[in-house]
Amino acid sequence: MTHRHFIIHKPYGYLSQFVSDPKKQKKKRVLTELYDFPDGTMAIGRLDEDSEGLLLLTTDGKVSEYVRSSKIEKEYYAQVDGVIIDEAIAKLQQGVEVSIEGVHYVTKPCVASILKQDPGFPERSRRVRDDRHGPTSWVSITLTEGKYRQVRKMTAAVGFPTLRLVRVRIGAILLNGLPTGAVKEVDTFPLTS
């Protein structure tokens, strides 16, 4: 059996799934609105509805398991409320205590740094906010784990809640200007450089 692999730029407001739950009051936007994916396609890891950026899809469960493992780094750019300070970055790097589904957890050490300039992402469908509400800043966070809403919980734990979250890298695969909503089919995932 030949497996198929896809790289997409998941837009804000979409679920990382293929079928909307008809029991929900509002119909949620799903990935099948972006492309006609083959049967058996699965998202590798997830980005929640409010998050954007790089998402890998595959029909190969073994590839999915490998990418979700702690062997593959995932890098995120988070726009945070306020001007983030070095002390907060140091705490993120060391690991912070968060609550994941009611269980207290200390995140693993990670790579975190302040982005000196706005990464220049296009405006999303729902604006983050305007300057009247105070300054914002951007931080890069690279993880080898992926707990539920982890980056958001981490930045909140150090006093700088996430306003916008964009995954920009998985292993050696970069978002690199892929337009929002674009889908690119690839032969393999180049996960290591």
Query: What residues are labeled active site?
Result: 48
Token pair 């890998």: residue: 56
CA-based end-to-end distance of the chain? 27
Quote the CA–CA distance of 116 and 102 in Å, as a whole number. Answer: 35
Quote the CA–CA distance of 89 and 99 in Å, as a whole number. Answer: 19
What phi and psi values does residue 66 have, to the nearest 5 degrees? Answer: -65, -45
Angle at 21 between CA 11 and CA 18, to 5 degrees: 45
Token pair 């589904």: residue: 101
- State the alpha helices, DSSP H only, in 85-138: 86-94
Asked if residue 78 lies in contact with residue 151, where contact means CB atoms within 8 angstroms, the answer is yes
Helix (H), strand (E) at residue 52: strand 52-58
